[in-house]
Amino acid sequence: MIMSETPYLSVVIPSFNEKENLGRGVLDEVITYLNSQDYSWELVLTDDGSTDGTRETLQEFANSHDQVRLVANTHKGKGPTVTSGMLAASGKWRLFTDFDQSTPIGEIEKLLKFVTEYDIVIGSREIPGALRDKEPFYRHLMGRGFNLLVQVLAVPKIYDTQCGFKLFSAKATQVLFESLYVYAGSKERLDAFTGAFDVELLFLAKKNGFKIKEVPILWQHYHTDRVSPIKDSLRMFKDIIKIRVADLMGKY
C-alpha cells in the first residue's frame, strides 16, 4: 500500500468466509465509489481467519490496489476483527461497514455531513427517514426487542446500536477500541460470531463524553445463515450484562 498523506477517510471492512459476497463484486463497488470522491482515502480489509479462500482473494485484491491493504487475524469474532482494522487504519475519520454492503458505501455521504459537530456518527435503521429493504419480520422484531433492552440497561437514546455502519474520529477510535473489555478478543473461536460489541463501544463513548449523532440510512437485507434469532438474542443479552458488570468492577 502506498499513501503519501494521512487519508481523510479509512473504510474498514471485516470479513469471515465471504465467498458468496465476493462473487457479487462488492469490493469493486466500494473501490469505484471511493475513486469518485475528492478526498483521500484508504480501504482496510480485516479478515477473521477465513477458511474458504476469502483471505487469499482479499490479498490478491489488495495487491492490485495501492490504497487497499489486508489485516489478517485469527478467528475471534467480528468485534476483535473490526477492532484490529480500525486501529490499523490511519484516517482522520474511520468507517466500519459490513462486507455484504447491506448499507451501501454511498450512504457515507449522510454521515460525513455531521463530522464538524460530532465525534461519532452512526447509521440507523430505526429513526425517521431510514429505509429497510426486504427485511424479514423476525429480524425486525429481534432488533426492536434487543434495542429496548439496550436502551434500558446500557445505552439510552440510541435507537439502533447494531447497524454495522459507524463512523469514528481518529481520537474516538483510539480511545474506545483500546478500551474494550468484553470484546477485547483474547480467545480464538470456532463459530461465526458477531455479538454486542457495538453496544460496548457506544456505552464507552457515552462514558467518555464523546458526542454521538444517529443518522437514518438505507439498509438492504441479504440472506445469511449466520443469524439465529433465539441463540443470538440470548448471547447479546448476556453481553449487555457483562458490560454492566465490567463497568461496576472498574474495568473501564
Secondary structure (3-state) at 172: helix
**Distance between CA atoms of residues 156 and 165, nearest Å:** 19
Q: Is the pLDDT of residue 245 over 70?
A: yes
pLDDT given at position 68: 98
Highest-pLDDT range among 4-8, 80-84, 190-194, 223-227: 80-84
The residue assigned the cell 440507523 is: 124
**Distance between CA atoms of residues 163 and 202, nearest Å:** 12
pLDDT given at position 231: 72
Average pLDDT for 239-247:
92
**pLDDT tens digits, residue range 108-151?**
999 999 999 999 999 999 899 998 876 666 566 666 667 777 87
Contact 173, 213 (CB under 8 A): no
Map out the domains of the chain with their CATH numbers.
9-248 (3.90.550.10)
**Distance between CA atoms of residues 243 and 203, nearest Å:** 8
**Cα–Cα nearest to 5, from 69, 65, 91, 108:** 91
151/178: higher pLDDT: 178
pLDDT given at position 54: 97
**Cα 32 to chain centroid, rounded:** 21
109/231: higher pLDDT: 109
DSSP run (H or E) holding 81: helix 78-88
Tell me the torsion sign for CA atoms 174, 15, 43, 94: negative
Average pLDDT for 198-207:
96
**Confidence class for position 95, pLDDT limits 50, 70, 90:** very high
Alpha-carbon dihedral 141, 228, 81, 135, rounded to 10 degrees: -40
**DSSP E strands: which ranges in the chain?**
9-15, 41-48, 68-73, 93-97, 120-124, 131-133, 165-169, 212-216, 218-220
**Confidence class for position 233, pLDDT limits 50, 70, 90:** confident
CA atoms within 13 A on the CB side of 140: 12
DSSP lists the bridge partners of residue 214 as 122
When the pLDDT of each residue in the chain is averaged and rounded to a whole number, the result is: 89
Q: Is the pLDDT of residue 2 over 60?
A: no
**Cα 137 to chain centroid, rounded:** 23
Q: Is the pLDDT of residue 164 over 80?
A: yes
**Distance between CA atoms of residues 16 and 77, nearest Å:** 9
